[in-house]
Chain A
Amino acid sequence: MNDKPLIEAKSLFCERDDRVLFESLSFDIHAGEMVQIEGPNGSGKTTLLRILSGLSEAYEGEIYFNGEDIASARAEYFSNLLYLGHKPGVKAVLTPVENLVSYTACRVNRSGAEIEAALAKVGLNGYEDVPCHSLSAGQHRRVALARLYLSDAPLWILDEAFTAIDKAGVKTLEQLMAQRVAEGGTIILTTHHELSVGGGLRKITLGTGAIA
Chain B
Amino acid sequence: MWSFFHKLGSPRWFYDIGGKWLPWFALAAGILLVTGAVWGLLYAPADYLQGNSYRIIFVHVPAAFLAQSIFMMMAVSGAVGLIWKMKLADMFLKAVAPVGASFTFLALFTGAVWGKPTWGTWWVWDARLTSMLILLFLYFGVMALQAAIEDANVAAKACAVLALVGLVNIPIIKYSVDWWNTLHQPASLKLTEKPTMHPDMLIPLLIMIVGFYCFFAAISIMRTRNEILEREKRTAWVKALVQTGGRNA
Contact = CB atoms under 8 A, between A and B. Distances in A.
Chains A, B in direct contact (C-beta < 8 Å): yes
Interface of A: 15-18, 20, 58, 60
A145 to B, nearest CB: 30
A18 B151 contact: no
A86 to B, nearest CB: 18
A16 to B, nearest CB: 7
Q: How large is the interface on B (under 10, 10 to 19, 20 to 34, 35 or more residues)?
A: under 10
Main secondary structure of the interface of B (DSSP, over half): loop
A109 B7 CA distance: 42
A60 B7 contact: yes
A40 B7 CA distance: 31
Contact of A16 (B151, B233, B234): B151
Contact of A18 (B7, B154, B234): B234
Interface string B1-18: 000000100000000000
Contacts of B154: 58
A18 to B, nearest CB: 7
Contacts of A20: 234
B234 A58 contact: no
Contacts of B151: 16-17, 58
B176 interface: no
A58 B234 CA distance: 17
A58 B152 CA distance: 10
Nearest to A19: B234
Interface string B222-249: 0000000000011000000000000000
B150 interface: yes
A58 B153 contact: yes
11 contacts: A15-B234, A16-B151, A17-B150, A17-B151, A18-B233, A18-B234, A20-B234, A58-B151, A58-B153, A58-B154, A60-B7
